[in-house]
Amino acid sequence: MTEYNEFQGKCLCGAVSLSVKAEGHSVAACHCHMCRTWSGGPMLALEGVTQVNLQGEEHLTVFASSEWAERGFCRECGTHLFYRLREGSHYAVPVGLVDQGEPWQFDTQIFIDDKPGLYTFANKTTNMTGQEVFEAFAGAPGNTP
């Protein structure tokens, strides 16, 4: 049976708050160039997000970062709120946005072939190349990478 959890968070200035439902406590690191540019390092995000509810959407800005995805942030303080596929229902939410001391499980790294040599995580993780990520999402119902 899948465990679903609800997490709450808000941006630095409090203009945008969100409620997130996710499967378990899984956290993944994305090493793609866009995530590293956006986050200033690897993006550590909740995966398995099934629902995102936003309050304060008038303070939300969404940037189309590629043909297949977009990133949302608070236009007042700049806090990163989500990455989502334009088609389908996949969201990645930065774990620091909703972290209240939950028992997170860092278990996946994606775009491992884009990871620079300046850091290495000690955790044993499932590692996926960019090509493997695109293939996984292309095969998922309702998703297009």
The pLDDT tens digits of the residues spanning 31-66 come to 999 999 999 999 999 988 989 999 999 999 999 999
Looking up residue 76, the CATH number of its domain turns out to be 2.170.150.70
Q: How many domains does the chain have?
A: 1
CA atoms within a 13 Å half-sphere pointing along the CA-CB vector of 124: 0
Q: Print the domain residue range for 118.
A: 4-138
AA letter at 102 = E
- Who wins on pLDDT, 9 or 89? 9
CB-CB neighbours of 70 under 10 Å:
14
Q: Is residue 143 part of a domain?
A: no
In this prediction the pTM is: 0.88
What is the pLDDT at residue 122? 96
What is the pLDDT at residue 139? 57
Q: Is residue 47 part of a domain?
A: yes
Q: Is residue 131 part of a domain?
A: yes
Task: Return the percentage of the chain with pLDDT > 70, whole number.
Answer: 94
- Contact residues for 139 (Cβ-Cβ < 8 A; gap 6+): none
AA letter at 88 = G
DSSP state of 133: H
